[in-house]
Structure 1
Amino acid sequence: MIDEILNLPDVSFIDDLQLDDVQAQLVRDYQNRYKEITGKDVALERADPMSLILYALSIQIYQALLYVDKTGKQDLLKYSYGEYLDNLAAMKGIAREQAKPSRAMIRFTLSGIRPNTVEIPEGTRVTNGEIYFQTESPAEIPAGGTSVDVAAECMTSGVAGNNLETGEINVLVDPVPYVAKVANTEPTTGGADIEDDDTLKDRIYIAPSKYSVAGPEESYRYWLKTYNANISDVLIYSDDPVDVTIEFIMTDGELPSESMLLGVQKFLSDEQIRPLTDRVTVKAPETVDYKINVKYFVNQSDLKKVDTIKTAVNAAVDDYIIWQRSKIGRDINPSQLIQQMMSAGAKRVEVTLPVFQVIGKANVAKLSSKTVTYGGLEDD
């Protein structure tokens, strides 16, 4: 969820009442009313039968108050969820995005050079034996050629088709004359499950931008998030009038595949999305390589849990790698690495690499090698 939503002030439709407050109020009301009727003060001990009755009532009353608070909050973007959020989105003309299929470029290779054009029909299916993909458009291998790359999408929506390695999709389901082999030229990516609440909230928040026809940055950001919920960070800039460059990365900072870039380019070319005066270029951000070489030490007093700390520190390094690549233009920052390792239980961290580096607004950090060394125990 974006910071603008997270940083909105908290609200309570019941003035932050707690169960103890309701119980105390019931006791006070009973005592005041008793004195009005009898003219006498009454003290209620906790085990008094009337106290027990009032406490039991207070639980039901407090439960009702919680429902009141919840009902009020479902009209607010910060708190809304599930079907309530869907109804809130409908007020902005937005619907939760359904699951999206993953994509890949598939290379069709002939058994040999042919004197005539070989056609690859649209919808030709390929598989790794479990997950099936089909080509999105017809393609041709011209006379004298041996192969052609065709964009394909998974026939099963969701993340199930993601992360198939290069060459793993290598079975041709629908025979094509003279085609000897097929293989994906890139890992599969772009599959997304049904849009989650946080992503939908982000789109609702920036939804007013979609009504503009002037091509503002937020409008393009909205449409990219609509295309695929797994697009995590977007950079839009224009170095020259008319020209608009869009760079983006996927969940956990993964770079978009060629087929994903082609899909976004086609999606943004829709005349209802792209202003007529904009020439849009979609690409992956350039990467800046960095290395990790660190040694860490653990307090002597933590001897009994050193194995647990080792596991936590290694996980912290992996989390740092994801953090480092999860935002375009994020500087390479060893201070963040030290902080996460120490939070995981390290007493002291020696960082040889990386060193702090400004990478530029249109770049993203990419890990090239990782060395994490346990240096042993030290006195507290």
Structure 2
Amino acid sequence: MIDLSQLPAPRIVEVLDYETIRQRMLEKLEQLLPGWTAADLEADPAVKILEVAAWRELLLRQRVNEAAKAVMLAFAAGSDLDQLAAWPGVKRLPGAAATFPCSVALTAALSSPVTVPAGWAVRDASGGYEARLMENLSIRAGQTAAPGTMEVVRPLGAAANGLNAGQWLPVQPLPFVGRVEQTGEASGGSDEESDAALRARAQLAPESWSTAGPAESYRYWATSADARIADAAVSSPSPGDVRIVVLSAEDGGAADDAMLERVRQAVNDEKRRPLTDHVSVVGAAIVGYDVEAHLEIPAGVSAAPVIAEATRRLEACAAAARRIGGVAARSALIAAAHAPGVRRVTLVSPPSDVAASNLEAPLARGVSVTYEAVE
């Protein structure tokens, strides 16, 4: 996939400068009025009028720049990006639904098993919250309850995190099913998909049109399953077997059960998965490391802004390496720590490059920067 950030800047987007526009207007006025000599007098009425005109031209040409960028995938944002992504059939993902563990109980033990279907909906006593069962739940013969997982569909996303309604009521009652009890707080809800994630999926979307099961097609459907997914990698360890590794964008990087289940459902759809493929979905193993850098800063230079910039750059470098199979290279971290004002960098940690396999992802646990003033 083409890295859009590495493409040359589009020629249609101009570099604008107010002073240049103003000067050209003054020169044109001097041509039209040979006897006018007040170009250097800022208080002259003609100069003031041209300054207003130059400012208005600057705004207009900047608007042209913004309109041109709004139709380019690399630069479009917000609703402009939504419109561009719609062309290959990609829609911004809503926030991932929060999930919570529950216990589904029968009114009495039965002599045969009872199956509660996936999608069965429940709501709290106030009617303000609604959830649905993620997977089929089977209560064995002779038992009165079984554990399951519900996902909150109202409200959707991060707003449901922390919810604990206790008892839930069926929207459509089922025979013999008596009650649903929440056994833990709801978690895992997220905000809607970011521009960066939507842009990457829109670029990847044409791969999904293939019916032969290429890796990038599986990757598109995997990343479309949950707005919290930061990366997905696809491999085939043996003929007919497909393995999808998922990395979460949330703190810690570990994919939870709800995320993995959504990916399984997305990639195993009969219209997406070739009949002969057997697909497994696993979470990426996290390779944690600490970033610790010691800076030498010349005496007399204010250390606080230098340290802040070095820390920001180190965090950005670590974030760029946070992907499946990524490498947190010492050389890249040292280069990142060389912010303006730094004379020398000693990278204390990691002691060597952190190289992840195709089942792993490197994750910086924290960034620490110390310094000493040197002559």
Instruction: Place the TM-score, normalised by the shorter chain, in its bin.
Output: 0.7 to 0.9
1:19: how far off?
A: 1.8
Tell me which amino acid in the other structure corresponds to 1:7: Q
CA–CA separation in structure 2 for the residues paired with 1:332 and 1:61: 46
CA–CA separation in structure 2 for the residues paired with 1:183 and 1:321: 40
For residue 362 of structure 1, the aligned residue among 345, 359, 362 is 359
- Return 294-303 or 278-287, whichever deviates more: 294-303
CA–CA separation in structure 2 for the residues paired with 1:139 and 1:274: 25
Partner-residue secondary structure (3-state), 1:195: coil
1:171: how far off?
A: 3.0
Q: Which aligned pairs between 1:95-114 and structure 2 lie closer than 5 A?
A: 95-104=91-100, 106=101, 108=103
Partner-residue secondary structure (3-state), 2:227: coil
Tell me which amino acid in the other structure corresponds to 2:230: S
CA–CA separation in structure 2 for the residues paired with 1:14 and 1:352: 42
Structure with higher helix content: 1
CA–CA separation in structure 1 for the residues paired with 2:223 and 2:319: 20
Asked if 1:173 corresponds to 2:172, the answer is: no
CA–CA separation in structure 2 for the residues paired with 1:80 and 1:373: 35
Partner-residue secondary structure (3-state), 2:85: helix
CA–CA separation in structure 1 for the residues paired with 2:167 and 2:317: 37
The C-alpha deviation readout for 1:327-353, integer Å capped at 9, x for no partner, is 112245555666667759997657366
1:249: how far off?
A: 0.8
Q: Which aligned pairs between 1:184-203 and structure 2 lie closer than 5 A?
A: 184=184, 188-189=187-188, 191-203=189-201
CA RMSD, aligned part only?
A: 4.4
Tell me which amino acid in the other structure corresponds to 1:97: L
1:3: how far off?
A: 7.0
Partner-residue secondary structure (3-state), 1:239: strand
Structure 1, unaligned runs of 5 or more: 35-39
Q: Which aligned pairs between 1:143-162 and structure 2 lie closer than 5 A?
A: 143=141, 148-155=146-153, 156-162=155-161
1:261 aligned partner:
260
1:207: how far off?
A: 1.8
1:258: how far off?
A: 1.6
Q: Which aligned pairs between 1:240-279 and structure 2 lie closer than 5 A?
A: 240-252=238-250, 254-279=253-278
The C-alpha deviation readout for 1:214-243, integer Å capped at 9, x for no partner, is 222222222222222221111101122221
CA–CA separation in structure 2 for the residues paired with 1:283 and 1:197: 26
Change (3 A) 1:212 1:56: same
1:270: how far off?
A: 1.2
1:363: how far off?
A: 1.6
Contact kept, 8 Å, 1:210 with 1:219, in 2: the verdict is: yes
1:13 aligned partner:
12
Tell me which amino acid in the other structure corresponds to 2:61: L
Structure 2, unaligned runs of 5 or more: 171-175
1:24: how far off?
A: 1.9
2:83 aligned partner:
87
May I ask how many residue pairs the two structures share in their alignment? 359
Tell me which amino acid in the other structure corresponds to 2:85: A
2:226 aligned partner:
228
Partner-residue secondary structure (3-state), 1:94: coil
Asked if 1:238 corresponds to 2:236, the answer is: yes
Tell me which amino acid in the other structure corresponds to 2:103: F
CA–CA separation in structure 2 for the residues paired with 1:321 and 1:149: 42
Tell me which amino acid in the other structure corresponds to 1:183: T
Partner-residue secondary structure (3-state), 1:108: strand
Change (3 A) 1:293 1:27: closer
Asked if 1:326 corresponds to 2:322, the answer is: yes
CA–CA separation in structure 2 for the residues paired with 1:27 and 1:303: 43
Identical amino acids, percent of aligned pairs: 22
2:138 aligned partner:
140
2:173 aligned partner:
none
TM-score, scaled to structure 1: 0.74
Change (3 A) 1:240 1:314: same
Contact kept, 8 Å, 1:131 with 1:154, in 2: the verdict is: yes
1:43 aligned partner:
37
CA–CA separation in structure 1 for the residues paired with 2:116 and 2:37: 89
Change (3 A) 1:313 1:160: farther
Partner-residue secondary structure (3-state), 2:47: helix
Tell me which amino acid in the other structure corresponds to 1:270: D
CA–CA separation in structure 1 for the residues paired with 2:134 and 2:312: 39
For residue 348 of structure 2, the aligned residue among 341, 346, 351 is 351
The C-alpha deviation readout for 1:302-338, integer Å capped at 9, x for no partner, is 89978x9999999988x48973883112245555666
Contact kept, 8 Å, 1:312 with 1:345, in 2: the verdict is: no
CA–CA separation in structure 2 for the residues paired with 1:54 and 1:269: 65
1:37 aligned partner:
none
Contact kept, 8 Å, 1:316 with 1:341, in 2: the verdict is: yes
TM-score, scaled to structure 2: 0.75
CA–CA separation in structure 1 for the residues paired with 2:301 and 2:32: 63
The C-alpha deviation readout for 1:49-104, integer Å capped at 9, x for no partner, is 22222222222222222222222222211222222222222222222222331235
2:49 aligned partner:
53
- Return 352-361 or 48-57, whichever deviates more: 352-361
Tell me which amino acid in the other structure corresponds to 1:86: D
Partner-residue secondary structure (3-state), 1:151: strand
1:195: how far off?
A: 2.2
Partner-residue secondary structure (3-state), 1:227: coil
2:183 aligned partner:
183
The C-alpha deviation readout for 1:111-144, integer Å capped at 9, x for no partner, is 9x967557667335689xx987542345233135
